[in-house]
Structure 1
Amino acid sequence: MHIIKLNATDSTNSYLRRYIAKNKVEDYTVVLAKKQTNGRGQMGTVWSSETSKNLTFSMFKDLSVHYVEFPFYISMAISLSILKALKSLNIPDLKIKWPNDILSENKKICGILIENVIKNKLESTIIGIGVNVNQTKFNGLPKAASLKNITGVHYDLDEVLHRIISCTKEYSTLLQNGDYDAVKKEYEYNLFRKDKPSTFKDTKGNMFSGFVKGVTKYGKLMITLEDGVVKKFDLKEIEILY
């Protein structure tokens, strides 16, 4: 396992993409930065992090050794990897907010950005992970928190990183072995608001009620509406209000 440590970069995902274009890269190569000047989240959002207090890193995962038909299984496996790593640190009340935010006590502590490299098939993936670890102030972000906020403990960043990498290898092995159903079942079990009455808002600002039931193999969220109909929603088509 190769870890590249940087003081600063625009975005670890962008750095790693440039790096693999010029170098032969081994599986699980990690780019770790103390500071990102242009950190990116899902759908073009910005990921902001205080210098040297959190984990901001990207990991290269070689997928050429096995065929992943549905890329969302990678997202599910990575979400579960982080969940398991944080559970090992005794972080309480952990849930996955669809598609792959990690919450503790209903506060966002981790975001994931997955960028797949597809040529004739899905060949590799770059997994960007931001974990709020020791930062304690999140001005203007009332739903954000850190591990230290939640537990009061100051964490060693390298320890958290290595736990995440170790768990990622474990769940990657499940995918390599074709245990897709096990990954999907565990992901759905840990979904935020699963089987609880919830309120949602669509892109037009309309609000409606329903129950989170699970996800499709393509990553769409399945919601049972008040009339009993199950409807599927794509990323950014709706948000869960909480």
Structure 2
Amino acid sequence: MNIIKLGATSSTNDFLKDLLAKQFVENFTVVVAEHQTKGKGQMGAEWNVESGKNLTCSVLVRDLLLDIQAIFHLNVAVAVSIIEGLEEFAIGGLAIKWPNDILAESKKIGGILIENSIKRNGEIFSIVGIGLNVNQEYFENLPKASSLYAICGRSFDKEAVMLAILGNLKRNLSLLQAKEYGLLWQSYDNRLFKKGIPMPFEANNGSHFMGIIQGVTPNGKLEVLLEDDSITTFDIKEVKLLY
């Protein structure tokens, strides 16, 4: 495993993309930075964290996905790998909030940003960005954010946490390569936040409704049982879970 350690960079995803444009980069190369000046989240949102306190890293995954339709399987494998890595440190109340938030005790402690590119020969390159709040104590004006330190009351070795996650990721990517999707999806489904519980939602037009999360489709849409007993699927940013 090739690990590139940086003091600071605008974004570990961008650093890895730039490196990939200039030279050959071996599969599972990892870029980790103590600080990101322009960290990114889903749909262009910013990911701002306290310098030196948290884990921000990106992993190159190549020669794995052969079908553009299989892209969300990678999201599933990454989310499950983070949860399994954190379970090694006895972190309680872990869950995956659709599509890519990592929660502990119903607070957001991490997120995933996967950026895919398709080459002319059809090969899919994926850059897996992982942001995890590890030793940060305070989150001003972010009532739903937390960290491993805030939840457990102790500091963590960031590199040990990263290596635990990467170890699980390598194993789960082997399952993905073998097309053992069922095992990964079962783990993802079992950890899905608020699944099977009546919850309020907000649609992108501002309207509110009640629904029960049933699961996630293979292409990454959220399945929700509505009050009229119909099941509707929602894409990213089409609906927000209120909790």
Structure 1 gaps, min length 5 = none
Q: Provide, for residues 60-99 of structure 1, a one-character-per-residue CA deviation record: whole Å limited to 9, x for no partner.
A: 111x255244200100100000000011111101010000
One-letter identity of the residue aligned with 2:125? S
Q: Separation in 2 of the partners of 1:168 and 1:32? A: 16
How far has the Cα of 1:26 moved from its partner?
1.2
Summarize the Cα distance change of 1:200–1:66 in structure 2 as closer, same or farther, 3 Å threshold.
closer
Using the aligned pairs only, state the percent identity.
Answer: 45
Contact 2:65 2:71 in 1 (8 A): no
**Superposition map of 1:1-242 within 5 A:** 1-62=1-62, 64-65=63-64, 67-68=66-67, 69-120=69-120, 121-242=122-243
Q: Separation in 2 of the partners of 1:200 and 1:9? A: 36
Summarize the Cα distance change of 1:104–1:30 in structure 2 as closer, same or farther, 3 Å threshold.
same
Give the root-mean-square deviation of aligned CA atoms: 1.0
Give 3-state SS (helix, strand or coil) of 1:103's partner: strand
Q: Provide, for residues 8-52 of structure 1, a one-character-per-residue CA deviation record: whole Å limited to 9, x for no partner.
A: 111110110000111211111111111111000000000001111
- How many pairs are equivalent? 241
Give 3-state SS (helix, strand or coil) of 1:89's partner: coil
One-letter identity of the residue aligned with 1:146? S
Structure 2 gaps, min length 5 = none
Give 3-state SS (helix, strand or coil) of 1:71's partner: helix
Contact 1:117 1:125 in 2 (8 A): yes
One-letter identity of the residue aligned with 2:223? M
One-letter identity of the residue aligned with 1:147? L
Contact 2:65 2:123 in 1 (8 A): no
Summarize the Cα distance change of 1:185–1:15 in structure 2 as closer, same or farther, 3 Å threshold.
same
